[in-house]
A and B are shown apart, each in its own frame.
Chain A
C-alpha cells in the first residue's frame, strides 16, 4: 500500500500505511530520524516545520532523535521502567484529573475538560507540581498542529510570536525537561483523542456489550504519522522504485494500526522507536473506561 510521490527537486517521499510494510521499513537501518535540511524543496520545508516546532535549545524532542543518538536508548528504557512502576503503583488514580477524565468519558463533564486534565495527569508523572490549564493545553495543540497547517498560517504563527509563546509556556511548565515536554506537548494528543473516542463510544447503545479489547481497538489513537529519512540508497519491496538518500518516508501509523487492529503497532512496541508509555497508557485508559462505565450505570466510579 506504499504510495510514492516523486517530483525531482521538489518532493521525494514514500507514504506507507500497511502494518507489515511499516514494520519492515522501521526495521531498516538505513531509514532513520534526521531533521537536518536535505532533499527537495517540500522535503526541506517539512523538515523545517518539525525543527521549528520540536527542537528546544538546539536539541530535538526525544521522539525525533536519531536511533544512534547517544543516551537515547538508555533514557527511553529508564522512562519505560519508571512509567511501568507508576502504572502499577496507581497513585495517579487519586489525582483529581483522573476523576475529571472519568467524568468526561462518562458524559458527566464537558469534552473540553479532557485536554487539560490529561495534560496535567501526564505532567505530574514527571513533576509532582505540574500545572495544566486551558492555556497550556491550547499551547500544546498549537505546537502539535504546527507541522501540518498551511504555509500562511504557519508564517502567521511565527511572525506574531504565537508559536514562540506556546513553546515557551510548555517548556516552562515542563521545566525544560525534554521527556516531560514531549509527554505534555505531543503525546498528550493521542491520549486525548483516545479518551474522546471513548466518550463517544460510552454514549452509544452498544457500549456495555463491548469487551475491553474491542473498546481499545475502537478507541486507541496512534500518532497520525511518523517521519523518517533515507540515509543511503535502498531497494525495498515496499517501494516501487529504489529509495534515494534524503527521501522522506512517512509511516501512516494511525491508519495502519486501525486497519490491522494491532495495538502493539500503535505503540511501535517491537521497534527501536517504541513508545515507553505503552503500559502506562493502556492501564490508564482501561481504568478510565471501567470507571466511566460504572458511573454511567449509576455506580460510584472514580
Chain B
C-alpha cells in the first residue's frame, strides 16, 4: 500500500474520527495512537516551504561541518546547506495561499488595542498553580534559540492603532513599527504573500547561548578585557560566576533581547554547564585544542537542553499520561529510557526507539521554523508582574519588586541583593500566570523598552497586530486549516459565559477572533496549560526540530558527540544541572516530580 511518504491509512482513519471526537476524549491507548496519526497528518499536510529560489551555498572554509554545528546554522543538511541558516525565511503551517497579510481596515478590525484592553488586561493575577516561574524563563530561553523577526522597520510609516475614547494610553496616538520586510525577495516571489526572515539559526542549536554568527560567538567566548578568545574552549564568565555585560549594561549572551531575571538565570546556568562539559571532555581528550572542546561542548549542551525541553518542560505543561509517555517516546521511543540505556536502539523506528538517533526526515517541506509556530508561542500571560525574592535558607523575604526592576540592564543589579541560588529558588517556588484571557502582564501592556529600543509599547496589542500583519489566519480559519473543527459561536469557543459576552462585544463574529485570543479563550484539554489548537502546532514542530536536525538524527553518534558526551546527555536533566552548579538547591527539588513544578518551600534536612 502507500509507502512511508504519506500520512497513511491510520492518518486518514483518525481524520474522519476526529471530526466528531478529539484525541483526548479517548482512552489512553487509542489517544496515543490518535496522537501518532495526528502528527503524521500534520507532517504531510501542514508544512509549507516559502523559499522559491535556492540561495547560494555559503563558504564553509575548513570548518568541520560534519562533526560540529556552524555558527550560522548552515550545513546542517549537507545537501541543502542554507536550510535553517540564520536569515532564511520562516516557513508556514498553512497553505501559502492562505497567508496573505491583512491590510487596510481589516488589519485594525477590531483594533488590537481594544482586544488588548478589553480581553487581555490583568485585573487580578491568575496563577498556574501547578507550575513554577522557571517555565516562562525556559520558554523564552528556547524561543530565543529558535527564532526572531529581528528589529522592526524604522523607515516605513508605522501603523497607527485606533484608540477608544476612554483609552488610558498616556499618549495621543499609539504607533507600532512594521515588521522588517524580507530583503531576499526576488522576481520569483512576485504575486506570493509576504515572507519574513528568521534572524536566528532555525535549528535547536543553542544559538541563544552561542549566537547566530561567528562574530557573536567570538564575543561570548572572549575575555571582555583583552578581547581575546578563551583558549580553553569555555564561555566567558566573570570571576563571580555571572555573565559579562554588553555595552548597554545587559548581561551578554548569544541573544540578550527582552532580558529579564528568568533569562539571566537560564543563560548563567547553561554557560556554566558548557564550561563543566569542557572540563569533562578534557579528561578524555587532553590533546584536543580549545576550538574542538568548544564545538563538542556546544553539541552536548544543546542536546541536553533539547532533552530537558522534550522530557521535562513540555510534559510539565501537558501533564497527561498520554503526553508524558508521548514526549518521552520522542526522545527514547515507547520502549522508554531504561530499555534505551541498557540495549540501545532496536531499529530506525522513531516510534520504538525515539526520534533522537533515527534517520533524518524533513517530511513535506525543507526545515524552517514557521510563522504559525511563532504565533502560538506568544505566551506572555505566563510572566508574572510581581516578584517576591526569598532566601533559600529560611524562605525569608529578600526583595519584592515589579517585572521592570528585574528586566533589561537592571537585571544584574538584583544580584547585589539576591544571590543566583536565592533567585533560582524564588522562581522555582513562585507561580507563573495561567494562559487565559485577562492575564496579560500589566508591565508589558505599558512597557517602556530600555536602550537601545527606547519606546513605550503595549505588547498585547503588538501580539495581535503581528499575527494579522504576517498573514497568520484568524482562529476559526486556522483551526480548519489544521484539520480541527471551528467553533460556530462564542459559546462553542469557551465555557466561560462572561468571556463569551466580552468576546462578542469586541469581535461581533466568532470568525473574526484572532488566533491569540482564541487560544487564550479556548477551554484546554484536561491537564493542559495551553490550548489544543496551539498543541497541534507543538506536536508537529517539537518532533520536527529533532527529526530534521542531522545532529539529533543521523549524526547523533559517539563519533560526533564523543562517548563522554553521549553519557553526559543520558545522565543529566535540569535537576542535575541545577544541582551541579547550585548544590544547595537540591533539597528544595527533592520530592518534586518535575523541576518545572513548584519546589518545596520547607527546608528538608539532607541525610
| Interface residues, chain A, with chain B CB atoms under 8 Å away | 1-5, 7, 18, 204-206, 208-211, 213-214, 217-218, 220, 240, 257-263
Contacts and interface: CB of A to CB of B under 8 A. Distances in A.
Interface residues of B, number: 31
A217 B96 contact: yes
A3 B5 CA distance: 6
Contacts of A262: 96, 192
Contacts of B508: 205
A213 B191 contact: yes
A205 B511 contact: yes
B364 A210 contact: no
B285 to A, nearest CB: 40
Interface stretch (B59-67, B105-113, B146-154, B328-336): B105-113
A289 B6 CA distance: 36
Given A205-B511, A261-B193, A210 B103 contact: yes
A67 to B, nearest CB: 26
A258 B105 contact: no
A2 B5 CA distance: 7
Contact of B193 (A205, A208, A217): A217
Contact of A5 (B2, B44, B102): B2
Contacts of B511: 204-206
A214 B99 CA distance: 8
Interface in B496-547: 508-509, 511-512
B512 to A, nearest CB: 5
Contacts of A205: 106, 109, 508-509, 511-512
B115 to A, nearest CB: 14
A156 to B, nearest CB: 26
Nearest to B107: A209
Nearest to B104: A209
A206 B512 contact: yes
A261 B97 contact: yes
Nearest to A259: B95
B95 A261 contact: yes
The 8 A-B pairs at the shortest CB distance, nearest first, are namely: A209-B106, A261-B96, A214-B100, A217-B97, A261-B97, A3-B6, A258-B95, A259-B95
A293 to B, nearest CB: 12
Contact of B109 (A2, A3, A209): A209
A209 B103 contact: yes
B100 A217 contact: yes
Given A206-B511, A218-B97, A261-B192, 20 more contacts: A1-B5, A1-B6, A3-B6, A5-B1, A18-B364, A205-B509, A205-B512, A208-B104, A208-B106, A209-B102, A209-B106, A209-B107, A210-B100, A210-B103, A214-B193, A217-B97, A217-B193, A218-B100, A257-B97, A259-B97
B48 interface: yes
Interface of B: 1-3, 5-6, 44, 48-49, 95-107, 109, 191-193, 364, 474, 508-509, 511-512
Contact of A259 (B96, B104, B106): B96
Contacts of B101: 214
A258 B49 CA distance: 12
A57 B384 CA distance: 76
B451 to A, nearest CB: 36
A2 to B, nearest CB: 6
Contact of A206 (B2, B48, B106, B191): B106
A167 B135 CA distance: 66
Contacts of B103: 209-211
Contact of B48 (A4, A211, A259): A259
Contacts of A257: 97
A263 B103 CA distance: 20
Contacts of B109: 205, 209
Contacts of A213: 100, 191, 193
A204 B513 CA distance: 12
A240 B2 CA distance: 11
A238 to B, nearest CB: 10
Contacts of A263: 191
A274 B442 CA distance: 57
Nearest to A219: B97
Nearest to B507: A205
Contacts of B6: 1, 3
Nearest to A206: B106
A5 B509 CA distance: 44
B96 A4 contact: no
Contacts of A220: 97
B415 to A, nearest CB: 48
B101 to A, nearest CB: 8
Contacts of B104: 208-209
Most buried by B among A4, A213, A260, A261: A261
Nearest to B192: A261
B98 A218 contact: yes
Contacts of A210: 100, 102-103, 106
Contacts of B49: 260
B5 A261 contact: no
Contacts of B98: 217-218, 258
Contacts of A7: 1
Contacts of A209: 102-107, 109
A282 to B, nearest CB: 11
9 contacts: A205-B512, A206-B102, A206-B512, A210-B102, A214-B193, A218-B100, A259-B96, A260-B97, A262-B96
A1 B96 contact: no
Contacts of A208: 104-106
B97 A258 contact: yes
A190 B511 CA distance: 26
A260 B189 CA distance: 11
Nearest to A258: B95
A264 B103 CA distance: 24
B575 to A, nearest CB: 42
Contacts of B44: 1
A135 B511 CA distance: 36
B100 A4 contact: no
Contacts of B5: 1-4, 240
Contacts of B48: 259-260
